[in-house]
Amino acid sequence: MTLLPTSVWEDVATKTDLELHDALLKLQINEVHNDLKTEVADLRAELKGDIANLRTELKGDIADVRLEIAELRTEMHQMFRKNYMVMISAIFAINSLFFAATKYWG
């Protein structure tokens, strides 16, 4: 005991002091916990709203892409028909020239 620094009895904590400090600390922890729970709930609600908005936007974008694909498909079929008709016309022209050449030369 002689090695301990000298102190006044007012500086010594009692069991009651520790119990009060413990109770105050528990109240503060509960307050922080409740604040965190509220913030997490708010964030969840905000995220749910953001996700719903993104889904709506994506559905609109997907509908636009599908429409563009349908338009491209229609354009592709039209171009195929035109090219097919050009090829058929070219084949008939070549056959006609070949037929005329064989009649003319022999």
How confident is the model over 51-73, as pLDDT tens digits?
999 999 999 999 999 999 999 99
Residue 10 lies in a domain: no
Could you give the CA distance from residue 75 to residue 58 in angstroms, rounded to a whole number? 25
Could you give the CA distance from residue 60 to residue 64 in angstroms, rounded to a whole number? 6
Mean pLDDT, residues 84-104 taken together: 93
Could you give the CA distance from residue 85 to residue 22 in angstroms, rounded to a whole number? 92
Chain position carrying tokens 């097919």: 84
Residue 22 lies in a domain: yes
The single-letter DSSP state of residue 106 is -
- The two tokens of residue 35 are 């604040």
Q: What is the pLDDT of residues 1-36, one digit of tens each?
A: 567 666 666 667 789 989 999 999 999 999 999 999
Write down the pTM of the prediction: 0.53
How many structural domains comprise the chain?
1
Domain that includes residue 43, residue range: 16-105
